[in-house]
């Protein structure tokens, strides 16, 4: 196992653990990397014929000898017996996975540029071609060979990291202004940078293109943020001039005590403005009351005042401040951003200021105006201001759409939901063989499924979905969903923007387990599926950056709490990858949340995503009775707002797929509740 782990670490830069199960589980130290693995099983392992279903034995037997040779080549690669790898590569011919051996040989041999270019342009495997291009761009850039970087990538590549390498090469070939134009906006706005982009920034600075004014603008955009920023610290380190030492010292000393801004000497206007902006972000109401004193004391420049006003309006908007709306609007007019304008619309909705909603909606970019939520709120505001005929035109169109607001509007008009489903039909054996011949990536997917290589399976699924036609992608997704790859089938809709094939977009895996735990916990089956679909896209091995695991994305601490309360067996965090354990705990936790919120799934869903405390905090505290749709739209976290809307919409779709007699977006009690 150690040897195989070393091989994979050499290939991918990741360390993998192997857990005996139906599917190999790769837990990597660099989750999220897209570097494909060649295999995740021991090279000497053979695949038993008994493990292959009858309908797929033809595929298994067809390449059995080649498959064993491929595994032998991986074993030789691990031992650095590259002559054997080359020999087997030449013998394997058109074996589907032979392209991976070519890829490995390219990575170890530092091939000549013509061979690299041939591999990239061949079209045999777009994903591996991108990895080869990335590997060699890094290799040549690290060696200062920028001419070769541009030969490997004559056109600007995809992805910000590679684009930074590419522009660095362009810089060294005379296109300095283009390199600066590429990075300048992100730099000044305070975006954090990868090492590739940081290298480009360093090159621009060394070349004298990164000016002090740009550095100051980066600081203005990052210093005031509530939790601080590495971008701010990096920018401060670039202010090395004698005249900037005082500024840097003042910013550092007042970072944790911005309310003491008035003790900064009046001659330090720049420092005082930045510190006051941070004060505005951390204590907006107090800063608002004191902003006049600040301006009288320091007489900030227009740019400095803009920094202060932007911090104020941001904090006041996102905290649902009771500040006078006219003042907010004046600040927004002078220092707002499009995101702040959207938050101002939500505040107007919360205030039930429907004329204000219409006024602010009119200022949105045209593409934003077409979003389903803004079309609904335009119609609602028109209705509330006496323009019912205009509102009805928008309502009627919206009610014909399969979306959260479409379903909500259909309820309002007493119309059926626009489910508009298309059924994806699995291929028969003859059709499946034709698809394997038509799409080499699908054949590679099949080989990796025989090798039990989870990472390879996912790599080739991307390739297959990217290359297949819409009809073929639907058919392949439906076929493989039947074979146990429901979580991959979901991705067909994303890769192909195919929102209508609901049976693959919203699969029903582990149905007996879900039904059992739904009965046990008293949680609706469709609701449990809807939460799972949004949390993990039905992937039992899903793992979030913060450590949530499995189908319903449980945090280990929450799992321990729930298991203790109900006396359910729980052996630790790795058990959360077991569907039975994960679904049982998920059903119980959803039951608890619904009980905590009086059966209200809107609050429970918000609590599942953002924590029960926030679901309470976002409720009305001013005695005004608001409806469900206002509460949801006013959720200040984009992620949670979208999450709640999607789960409720997905619940309706799962009701439909489960054959419910009545489809229901919100229950009567949820419609009538006090929000």
**How many distinct helices (H) and strands (E) make up the chain?**
39, 0
Q: Which of 162, 112, 122, 126 is nearest to 141 (CA)?
A: 162
Q: Give the pLDDT of residue 12.
A: 34
- Taking 70 as the threshold, does the pLDDT of residue 19 lie above it? no
Q: Which of 584, 460, 456, 579 is nearest to 518 (CA)?
A: 584
- Taking 60 as the threshold, does the pLDDT of residue 14 lie above it? no
Q: In percent, how much of the chain has pLDDT > 90? A: 82
Q: Give the pLDDT of residue 40.
A: 33
- Taking 80 as the threshold, does the pLDDT of residue 30 lie above it? no
Q: How many CB atoms lie within 10 A of CB 286?
A: 12
- Taking 50 as the threshold, does the pLDDT of residue 274 lie above it? yes
Q: Which of 532, 589, 538 is nearest to 561 (CA)?
A: 589
Q: Which of 257, 322, 255, 253 is nearest to 284 (CA)?
A: 322
**Lowest mean pLDDT, pick from 20-29, 282-291, 501-510:** 20-29
| CB 473, CB 491: distance < 8 Å | no
Q: How long is the chain?
A: 675
Give pLDDT tens digits for 151-174: 999 999 999 999 999 999 999 999
**Lowest mean pLDDT, pick from 322-336, 510-524, 614-628:** 322-336
- Taking 80 as the threshold, does the pLDDT of residue 143 lie above it? yes
Helix, strand, coil distribution of the chain in percent, nearest 5: 65, 0, 30
Give pLDDT tens digits for 408-441: 999 999 999 999 999 999 999 999 999 999 999 9
Sign of CA dihedral 46, 62, 100, 81: positive
**Lowest mean pLDDT, pick from 146-150, 200-204, 318-322, 584-588:** 318-322
Q: In percent, how much of the chain has pLDDT > 70? A: 91
**Lowest mean pLDDT, pick from 11-25, 377-391, 547-561:** 11-25
- Taking 70 as the threshold, does the pLDDT of residue 288 lie above it? yes
Q: Give the pLDDT of residue 55.
A: 63
Q: Give the pLDDT of residue 33.
A: 29
Beta strand segments in 446-485, E: none
Contacts of 651 by beta carbon, 8 Å cutoff, 6+ apart:
524, 526, 527, 529, 530, 601, 665
Q: Give the pLDDT of residue 242.
A: 80
Q: Give the pLDDT of residue 336.
A: 87
pLDDT band at 660 (very low <50, low <70, confident <90, very high): very high
Contacts of 115 by beta carbon, 8 Å cutoff, 6+ apart:
106
Q: Which residue has the tokens 């040897």?
A: 3
Residue 543 φ then ψ, to 5°: -145, 125
Task: Answer with the residue of higher pLDDT: 239 or 388.
Answer: 388
Phi-psi region of 550 (alpha: psi -120 to 50; beta: other; left: phi over 0): left
- Taking 50 as the threshold, does the pLDDT of residue 48 lie above it? no
| Residues 302-327, mean pLDDT to the nearest whole number | 89
Q: How many CA atoms lie within 13 A of 373 on its CB side?
A: 19
Give pLDDT tens digits for 80-98: 999 999 999 999 999 999 9
Please give the mean pLDDT across all residues of the chain. 90
Give pLDDT tens digits for 555-570: 999 999 999 999 999 9
Could you tell me the two tokens for 295?
């301006």
């Amino acid at each position: 196992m150690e040897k195989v782990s070393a091989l994979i670490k050499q290939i991918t830069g990741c360390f993998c653990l192997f857990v005996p199960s139906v599917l190999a589980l790769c837990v990597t130290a660099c989750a999220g990397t897209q570097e494909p693995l060649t295999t995740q099983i021991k090279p000497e392992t053979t695949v038993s014929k008994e493990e292959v279903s009858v309908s797929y034995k033809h595929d298994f037997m067809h390449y059995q000898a080649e498959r064993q040779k491929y595994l032998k080549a991986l074993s030789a690669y691990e031992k650095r017996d590259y002559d054997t790898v080359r020999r087997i590569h030449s013998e394997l011919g058109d074996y589907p996975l032979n392209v991976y051996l070519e890829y490995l040989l390219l990575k170890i041999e530092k091939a000549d540029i013509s061979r690299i270019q041939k591999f990239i342009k061949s079209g045999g495997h777009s994903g591996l071609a991108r990895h080869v291009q990335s590997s060699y761009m890094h290799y040549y850039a690290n060696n200062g060979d920028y001419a070769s970087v541009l030969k490997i990538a004559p056109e600007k590549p995809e992805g910000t990291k590679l684009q930074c390498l590419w522009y660095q090469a362009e810089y060294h070939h005379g296109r300095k202004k283009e390199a600066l134009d590429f990075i300048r906006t992100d730099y000044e706005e305070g975006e954090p940078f990868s090492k590739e982009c940081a290298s480009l920034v360093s090159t621009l600075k060394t070349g004298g293109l990164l000016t002090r004014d740009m550095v100051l603008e980066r600081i203005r955009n990052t210093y005031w943020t509530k939790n601080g920023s590495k971008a701010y610290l990096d920018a401060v380190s670039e202010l090395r001039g004698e005249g900037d030492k005082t500024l840097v010292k003042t910013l550092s000393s007042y970072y944790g005590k911005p309310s003491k801004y008035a003790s900064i000497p009046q001659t330090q206007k720049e420092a005082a403005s930045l510190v006051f902006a941070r004060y505005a972000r951390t204590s907006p109401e107090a800063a608002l009351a004191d902003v006049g004193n600040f301006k009288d004391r320091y007489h900030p420049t227009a740019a400095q005042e803009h920094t202060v006003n932007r911090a104020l309006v941001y904090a006041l908007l996102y905290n649902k401040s009771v500040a006078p709306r006219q003042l907010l609007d004046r600040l927004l007019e002078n220092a707002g951003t499009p995101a702040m304008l959207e938050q101002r619309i939500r505040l107007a909705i919360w205030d039930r200021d429907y004329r204000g909603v219409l006024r602010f909606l009119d200022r949105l970019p045209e593409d934003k105006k077409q979003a389903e939520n803004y079309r609904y709120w335009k119609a609602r505001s028109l209705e509330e201001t006496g323009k019912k005929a205009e509102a009805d035109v928008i309502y009627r169109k919206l009610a014909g759409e399969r979306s959260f607001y479409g379903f909500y509007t259909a309820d309002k008009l007493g119309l059926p939901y626009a489910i508009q489903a298309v059924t994806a039909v699995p291929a028969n054996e003859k059709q499946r063989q034709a698809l394997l011949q038509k799409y080499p990536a699908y054949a590679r997917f099949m080989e990796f499924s025989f090798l039990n290589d989870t990472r390879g399976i996912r790599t080739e699924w991307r390739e297959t979905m990217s290359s297949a036609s819409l009809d073929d992608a639907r058919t392949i997704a439906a076929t493989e969903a039947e074979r146990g790859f429901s979580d991959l089938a979901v991705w067909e809709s994303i890769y192909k923007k195919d929102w209508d094939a609901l049976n693959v977009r919203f699969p029903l895996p582990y149905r007996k387990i879900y039904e059992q735990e739904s009965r046990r916990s008293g949680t609706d089956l469709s609701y449990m599926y809807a939460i799972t679909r949004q949390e993990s896209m039905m992937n039992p091995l899903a793992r979030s950056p913060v450590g949530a695991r499995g189908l319903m994305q449980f945090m280990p601490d929450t799992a321990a709490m729930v298991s203790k309360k109900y006396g359910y067996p729980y052996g630790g965090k790795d058990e959360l990858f077991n569907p039975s354990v994960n679904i049982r705990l998920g059903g119980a936790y959803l039951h608890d949340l619904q009980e905590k919120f009086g059966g209200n799934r809107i609050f429970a869903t918000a609590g599942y995503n953002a924590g029960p405390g926030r679901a309470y905090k976002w409720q009305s505290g001013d005695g005004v009775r608001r409806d469900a749709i206002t509460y949801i739209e006013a959720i200040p976290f984009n992620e949670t707002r979208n999450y709640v809307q999607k789960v409720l919409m997905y619940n309706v779709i799962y009701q439909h797929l489960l054959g419910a007699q009545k489809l229901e977006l919100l229950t009567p009690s949820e419609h009538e509740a006090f929000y």
